Amino acid sequence: MTSHKIFKASLLLMTFMVLISSCNTDDLSSVNLIKLTLSSGTVEQPVNTPYEFKVEGDNGVDITDDVIFKVNGEMIDSSVFTPSLAGDYEVKAYYNNLVSNALQLKVVLPSEYVQKVMIEDYTATWCGYCPRVAHAIELCKAQSDKVVAVAVHDSDDFAFDGSAALISEFEISGLPKGRINRTELWEALEHEHLDQVLDKTGYSATLGLSIESQIDNNNIQATIKVGFATEFSNQLNLVLYLTENGLIHNQSNYTEFYGGTNPIVDFEHNDVLRALCNGIYGEIIPGEETIEGNIYDKAFTVSIPSSVENNANLHLVAFVIDKSTNEVINVQEAAIGEEVGFR
C-alpha cells in the first residue's frame, strides 16, 4: 500500500472516530434530567444481595457508565451495590450538575421466615371484567405457593358489611381492582403483570406468622403467632380475615378467559371474604413484643357467620401491617383445622 493510500485510510478512520465522539457528546450534552431505577433486585432484600442500578437521561440514552453513584452520601465504585449490613439506604446518581431521584432501599437480615404477598381482589359476580383478575391470581398461585388472595365482593350475594367497609375505607371505585399488600394497585391487564406480585415473594422476611385453629361448636378457636427476625420501631397491627372457597354462582364475563362465555355458569368463587375477625386494621401488637427473636401469640374466638356454606372450605388469613403506611409486612393462610408454621 502506498503512503498516499495509507494517509487516506488514516484520515477516514480519524473522521469516523470524530463523528462517533461527536454523536456521543451530543447525546450526553442534551441531557437535562436523569432517572435512577433498579435494573435488578427489589427495594427490600436480605443483606449480601446485590442491587444493580440503571440511569437514563430524559433523551432516553443509557448513561449508567457515565454517572457517579452515592449510597447514603458515600460514593460507590460501580452501578452494583451489595450491602453487608441491614438498614435503610438512600441511593442517588450524579451527572455533571444533575442529581437523580432518590431510591429508598430496605436491607433486612436473612431469617427462617419466608416472604409472602397478599392480593385483595375487589370484585363482584355482576362485574364482567372481574374474571380477568381471578385468572391472573390463578396464574400467580400456579407459579408460587407464597401468594395469598382475598376476594372482596361488592354489592352481590357474597358481599357483607365488612366488605362494604373495606371498599369505603380504601375508596375503591370501579371494578375490578387488585391491591397488592394493601398499598399497591395491580396494574391492568393483571395477567400481563404477574411479576408485580411474584417479585415480592420468596426472600427472607423480617417477620413470619403461624396459624393453628379448630372449630368448637359454631366458633373458630385460633392462635396466631408472629415471629420477629428484627426489631420494629413503628406500630404494628395484627389483622385476621376469614375466607371461604368453593362458592358457586354465575359470573358475568366480558373477557376471553374461562372460555369467553357470558355469563360463566356455575363459576367457582374462591378466597371469598366472609368476616373481618378483628376489624379493618386489626389489633396493636405491643411494642415490647416487636423485638428481634421474640414470638408473639394471640388467641382469637371467631363466630362463623351464617352466610358460610361449608365449614370445610373455610380459611384464616392473618397478616401484619405497618400502621403508619397500612402496608402488609407479611401474611399467612391456613385452612381451618390445619396447622401452618413459620414457612
pLDDT of residue 23: 43
CA nearest neighbour of 275 among 318, 236, 312: 318
**Architecture of the 34-108 domain:** Sandwich (2.60)
Q: How far apart are alpha carbons 16 and 168 in whole angstroms?
A: 65
Q: Do domains 34-108 and 113-340 have the same CATH topology?
A: yes
Which is the CATH superfamily of the domain at 113-340?
Immunoglobulins (2.60.40.10)
277 secondary structure, DSSP code: T
Q: How many CB atoms within 10 Å of residue 282?
A: 21
Cβ proximity of 255 and 135 under 8 Å: yes
| Domain spans, the chain | 34-108, 113-340
Q: How far apart are alpha carbons 225 and 112 in whole angstroms?
A: 14
pLDDT of residue 322: 98
Split the chain (343 residues) into runs of 10 and give each run's mean pLDDT: 51 48 53 92 78 95 96 96 92 96 85 92 99 98 98 98 97 97 97 96 89 96 94 97 99 98 99 98 98 94 98 99 97 96 82
Please report which residue ranges of 120-268 form alpha helices under DSSP H.
131-143, 161-169, 195-198
Q: How many helices (H) and strands (E) does the chain have?
A: 4, 23
pLDDT of residue 19: 44
State pTM to two decimals.
0.71
pLDDT of residue 112: 78
